[in-house]
Structure 1
Amino acid sequence: MLLEERYQANRQIEPVQPARMPGPINQTKPVFKNYTRQKKLDRLMIYLMLVVLSILFILPFLWMVSTSIKTESQAISYPPTLWPAPFDFANYREVFELVPFLQFYSNTIVVTGLTVIGTVASSAVVAYAFARIKGRGRSVWFILLLCTMMLPPQVTMIPVYLIFTELGWVNTFLPLVVPAFLGNAFFIFLLRQFFRAIPKELEESAIIDGCSLFGIFWRIVVPLSKPALITVAILSFMGSWNDFLTPLIYLNDIDKYTLALGLQMFNGQQTMQWGPMMAASTMVIFPLVVLFFIAQKHFIQGIALSGIKG
């Protein structure tokens, strides 16, 4: 009887159904959509900001070019107009009539060309020595080199002028060119960083093949470092082409003036010749714009790749 009652009681107990796990919440798609939408919005805002900044930066250049083809009355008219009507190219002819502009151009080309050659050659050799040649005190000398970047040029301006005066170099191109062949601290640092990113296995293979140290530098390192070398050349070109203070200190004769000094001749004590000044400025800046667009790819690569390896 007792067994029968237990059997009936067990039959009345309903089996416990296993708990169902809640299904996965499908939130991946909405979250992904929100992320994509936010990413597109951020990119759109960045592009809009870049467009606005580009317009702000290019507006002075456009104003300079438009003023160079305006008449004198249009250049000083109020309210100002960006688009001249009609075009007047008399300002360009007047530039060559007022000053020996071609002489200024040739002087600047000579000084800038020698400066670029000297800067690239000397900085590359010194940078390779700091990057690959091991020696006692190499790190100390490199730190001292970096410390020279903290000194403003005004600190050494008078001592250097006295040295060049004793050498009889005043009123010549030598003070503008010779320092470039002694290296530049910033360019040495830039090239050293790039050289250290070059695999050492390439140089070791060249040594096994019997290549000398200079051969490794000239045949392996230099071809692989074209972006960095072009970057140094562009920066050196721009610095020498636009240099005003150094020619002002050392050059006295007008026939030795560079373009930076020649532009100041359009700035009179009483009036400003806006038309010829803008025309001359346009011709001065034109080579820089062309050079940058031609070497833009190498310039960006040289700046970006120089910081890969510290």
Structure 2
Amino acid sequence: MLNVTQNPPQKTPRKSSWAAFPFMAPATVMLIALTFFPIAYGIWMAFYNISLATLTSYEFVGLKNFREFIDTGSDFYRIVVRTIGWTFINVLLHVLVGIGLALLLQRPGLKFRKLFKALLILPWAVPSYITVLAWKNLIFNYDFGYFNTFLKVLHIAPVSWLQDPSAAYWATVIVNVWLGVPYMMMVASGALQSIPREMYESAEIDGASTLQQITRISIPMMWPMMAPSVILGLIWTFNNFNAVYLLTGGGPYGSTDLVVTYLYRIAFGAGSTSNFDYSLAAAFSVVVFLMLLLLVLFYMRVTKEQVPE
């Protein structure tokens, strides 16, 4: 009987990972300087008394700024509720309109597909502040804006888009939907193109209608790929400053104020909210950051998305 001794498998020497650090260093430095340091500095400011009058000498005040946040009463909570509602309305419209446009662009035999896609992407390509100012001065203007001019042709009373609280709120929604739909449309288009065509062909053979193919193939297959973009959309929309501040400035009478515009006035003294109270704004920002984090985690739990490790 032969006694064959098997040699243990030789381990492949692992290359040192230190070689990757020089390539990672620039991105790491930028990430620390532009992301981690501002966040840490903002949290540090929340526990001190820092304002325009105390920039040269400030003191540690502990939880005083957070207690003041609690003492603000219903005003800030009302703005938070408005911001959450505004965020969900906008993201819902972004997703629905974006998916609808993507499905239309994917129709077989559609002529001028590239032209339509280029025109639909155009609002995304133009800087947001230019778009918002164009809507404010050319479309929502009470005297010669396009909307009111069209209403006058129909013998309908013009609307005070930026002076009436309710109209101003929906004006901000319209502008933000205009800005956000192209991004969601492109994400939905990419997700649709990844679905095998054979699935639709099999559904047609089984007699499935177009609506059934959309609801039972397209949307279920698209959603896992769109979920990260929806999460980003929630964060971006919640913190959207340009669309509201440039269009209405939070007015009239604070009816379109969101959390970011409210904190801006606290930090930089715009209006009567505060006098350049940077620490109070930092404390509010920490609370908002925790709320937004819980909102994203809740969304990921509901959609059964796992938090990346």
Q: 1:230–1:299: 8 Å Cα contact kept in structure 2?
A: no
- Residue of structure 1 equivalent to 2:152: none
* SS across alignment from 1:254: coil
User: Aligned partners of 1:80 and 1:228: how far apart in 2?
Assistant: 48
Per-residue CA shift, 1:77-112, capped at 9, x if unaligned?
Answer: 77999xx6xx72221221344571101101101111
- Residue of structure 1 equivalent to 2:221: 224
Which moved further from structure 2: 105-114 or 202-211?
202-211
Q: 1:123–1:188: 8 Å Cα contact kept in structure 2?
A: yes
- In structure 2, relative to structure 1, the CA distance for the partners of 1:80 and 1:128 (3 Å cut) is farther
Q: 1:69 aligns with which of 30, 33, 47?
A: 47
User: Aligned partners of 2:21 and 2:99: how far apart in 1?
Assistant: 41
- Residue of structure 1 equivalent to 2:95: 120
Per-residue CA shift, 1:259-284, capped at 9, x if unaligned?
Answer: 12211331327942122111111122
Which of 1 and 2 has greater Rg?
1
Consecutive unaligned residues of structure 2, counting only runs of 5 or more, are 1-11, 149-157
- Residue of structure 1 equivalent to 2:3: none
**Structure 2 counterparts to residues 165-180 of structure 1, below 5 A:** 166-170=158-162, 171-172=165-166, 173-179=169-175
Q: 2:20 aligns with which of 43, 50, 58?
A: 43
Q: 1:150 aligns with which of 122, 125, 148?
A: 125
- Percent of residue pairs identical: 19
**Structure 2 counterparts to residues 180-259 of structure 1, below 5 A:** 184-248=181-245, 249-250=247-248, 251-259=251-259
Per-residue CA shift, 1:189-241, capped at 9, x if unaligned?
Answer: 22212210110111121222222212211211111122332233223222321
Aligned residues: 263
- In structure 2, relative to structure 1, the CA distance for the partners of 1:150 and 1:48 (3 Å cut) is closer
Q: 1:64–1:278: 8 Å Cα contact kept in structure 2?
A: yes
Q: 1:231–1:299: 8 Å Cα contact kept in structure 2?
A: no
- Residue of structure 1 equivalent to 2:62: 88
How far off its partner does 1:120 sit? 0.5
The amino acid across from 1:70 in the alignment is Y
When the two structures are superposed, what TM-score results if normalisation uses the length of structure 2?
0.70
* SS across alignment from 2:208: coil
- In structure 2, relative to structure 1, the CA distance for the partners of 1:180 and 1:262 (3 Å cut) is closer
* SS across alignment from 1:149: helix
The amino acid across from 2:269 in the alignment is G
CA-atom RMSD, angstroms? 3.7
Q: 1:115–1:236: 8 Å Cα contact kept in structure 2?
A: no
Q: 1:111–1:177: 8 Å Cα contact kept in structure 2?
A: yes
User: Aligned partners of 1:216 and 1:45: how far apart in 2?
Assistant: 50
Verify: 1:160 aligned to 2:139, yes or no. Answer: yes
Which moved further from structure 2: 56-65 or 101-110?
56-65
